[in-house]
Amino acid sequence: MFIYDFYSAQHAVSAHSKLEGSYLRGVIPRSLQSVCNMLPPLLCLDHPHVKIGQEAVVISGRKMARQIRDETRADVEEWVSAGNKRPHLSVVLVGDNPASHSYVLNKTRAAADVGISSETILKPTSITEEELLEIIDKLNSDHRVDGLLVQLPLPEHIDERRICNAVSPDKDVDGFHVVNIGRMCLDQSTMLPATPWGVWEIIKRTGIPTFGKNVVVAGRSKNVGLPIAMLLHTDGRHERPGGDATVTISHRYTPREQLCKHTQIADIIVAAAGIPNLITADMIKEGAAVIDVGINRIQDPLTGKNRLVGDVDFEGVRKKASYITPVPGGVGPMTVAMLMKNTIKAAKHLLLTPTVRMRMVASS
């Protein structure tokens, strides 16, 4: 919603009256247009510093992620200084998918940056599901390992859901285990999935209001879309606070005209469908906040080279939105940063688990 700055309007009316030769209070100006011309740009009630007609504020996920990593680094050093062992992250990487290798490298570099030790366990595409489960079981029982993740996607012959549920919920820094998902749905403290948590932090740290707002989440994936919707719509007074928003979830079978009806009244749009340019400028209202979670590789028609784009027509939408995240450099860096926060959280939680304490004493 947009309003005029009425304080400025009052002074504009006064100034106009003086120009007309009248100093009487309450004089109605002869030309409303002359007053409007003296007013400042329209302001957004939700984002008072954002003016209508002004391009969106581009949220730097890289900058925000650096801030979170600084916080995590301080947390890790305080933990270690108190006499605790340095948190350790184990990453299992199956196959030779270049994107997966790049993502894992980013995670291990981030771990080193915040003071978390890490290891990457490489396995060939031919590994069987049972062999992978054996590796996970050993890492689950290894008290030196605080955080454990298996990089997705996995080869087609391996059941990803079975693998995710094999990781100990206490070490599940991806937040994909059914126990952690269930706790999240019950508004309880848990390991939140890193990408949805990153989206949540972007919204809250930017100051985008959610209470009572209309939100559209485009995409219903179990690891991204649904958890984002869950975080945004649940009760802010609960153990794991939510956003108290009214959330609509769309998916591949939602007709475009129906999606438009929802997005055109949405205060916040989270695009997480994996469809390039799904959200265009005509689909949003003035001043909406747009968070782009999509990562799509397309061929640039000018250069012929592949480039990364999101689910949002960035150049078009930024002219109407109040806030927007870019791709790359938006949600991606936040995902890695939240993964580091989950790892130190896991280290602290594991120390409080009696069975882990007993194992540590026995092996010391």
Residues labelled as active-site residues: 107, 151, 174
Token pair 């150049």 in the structure block, residue: 315
Cα separation of 279 and 312, whole Å? 5
Q: Which helix (H) or strand (E) holds 298?
A: strand 296-299
Q: Do you know the residue count of the chain?
A: 364
Closest CA to 322 of 62, 49, 95: 49
Rounded to whole angstroms, how far apart are CA atoms 66 and 37?
A: 43
Alpha helices in the chain (DSSP H): 6-19, 32-36, 61-81, 98-114, 129-141, 160-166, 178-185, 194-206, 225-233, 256-263, 314-317, 331-351, 354-363
Q: Is 94 left (phi over 0), alpha (psi -120 to 50) or beta?
A: beta
- Closest to 275 in 3D by CA, of 258, 257, 256: 256
Angle at 71 between CA 70 and CA 76, to 5 degrees: 95
Pairing relationship of beta strands 306-309 and 296-299 according to DSSP bridges: antiparallel
Among 255, 353, 345, 279, residue whose Cα is nearest residue 71: 345
CA distances from 212 to 235, 247, 268, 349 (A): 11, 10, 11, 33
